[in-house]
Amino acid sequence: MGIPAIAVENLNFSWQSDKKILDHCNLQVPKGEFWMLLGINGSGKSTLLRILAGLLQETSGEVQLMQPVGLVFQNPDHQLVMPTVGADVAFGLVSEQLSMSATKMRVSEALSAVGLTDYVRRPIYALSGGQKQRVAIAGAIARHCEVLLLDEPTALLDGDTQLDLVKQVRNLVKDRGMTALWVTHRLDELDYCDGAFLLEHGRVVDQGDPQKLKYRLQNHSKQ
């Protein structure tokens, strides 16, 4: 395994002292790779992603990520805040205090990367679900994020759009040297990643070859 862009060691988290959501969780995602995180509802997937994104504080353990980090929610309406595509992508750059020309260049570059070059003035409300997710990803690209965290980003999309988004993220990871961790419960999405983790009761119980995990879970579901 190469240099980790995401490293989690003995991570614990609980809302109440008697119920652990994450229990000595360990994982590493190599820099420049696209990994997926699987597990049934309640296994701790979204909690782990929110800790990685800095939205929750772990109870104990170590978390290290290359910065900056971008987070894409399951529902893009929860994170798109400006009225148009270009304005929303630019919004994430405010803290960098860039010049107008530098901001426009970053926005144009990011929208080109997700195939939305001609959408810069398009109202957010006029976009499809898949297009909204791509705008959210463009925001992370514009900020030159090293790590992209995606929390079931295809959950609200139809079948063809789901796989289009998976392929696009895979291509971005490979073309731009980003690192991505994608939470999913869809086994067909495993065909596009470099590796996967299986989370059960807050612990990683299997990891590595995504096809091996896919085979294991398919057989388990038939039993």
- Same domain? For 140 and 156 the reply is no
Please tell me whether residues 101 and 158 are part of one structural domain: no
| Residues 113 and 70 sit within 8 Å (Cβ to Cβ) | no
Both 141 and 153 in a single domain?
Answer: no
**Are 121 and 185 members of one domain?**
no
Supply the DSSP symbol for 98: -
Q: By residue range, what is the domain housing residue 112?
A: 82-145
Residue 11: beta bridge partners?
25
Residues 101 and 116 in one domain: yes
Whether 131 maps to a domain, the answer reads yes
| 3: in domain | yes
Structure confidence by residue, pLDDT tens digits, 180-210: 999 998 899 999 999 999 999 999 999 999 9
Q: How confident is the model at residue 109 (pLDDT cuts 50, 70, 90)?
A: very high
Question: Which tens digits make up the pLDDT trace of 157-187?
Answer: 887 889 999 999 999 999 999 999 999 988 9
Which run of H or of E encompasses 118?
Answer: none
Please indicate, yes or no, if residue 76 is contained in any of the structural domains. no
Of the three residues 124, 145, 166, the one that is the final residue of a domain is: 145
3-class secondary-structure state, position 70: strand
As for how many domains the chain has, the answer is 2
Indicate if 219 and 113 belong to the same structural domain.
no
Looking at the structure, tell me whether residues 99 and 168 fall in a common domain: no
Are β-strands 179-183 and 147-151 bridged in parallel, bridged antiparallel, or unpaired?
Answer: parallel
Q: How far apart are the first and last CA of the chain?
A: 33
Q: Could you give the CA distance from residue 27 to residue 94 in angstroms, rounded to a whole number? A: 33
What is this structure's pTM? 0.92
71 forms bridges with which residues in the sheet? Answer: 149
Nearest Cα residue to 180 out of 162, 198, 193, 165: 193
Both 14 and 56 in a single domain?
yes
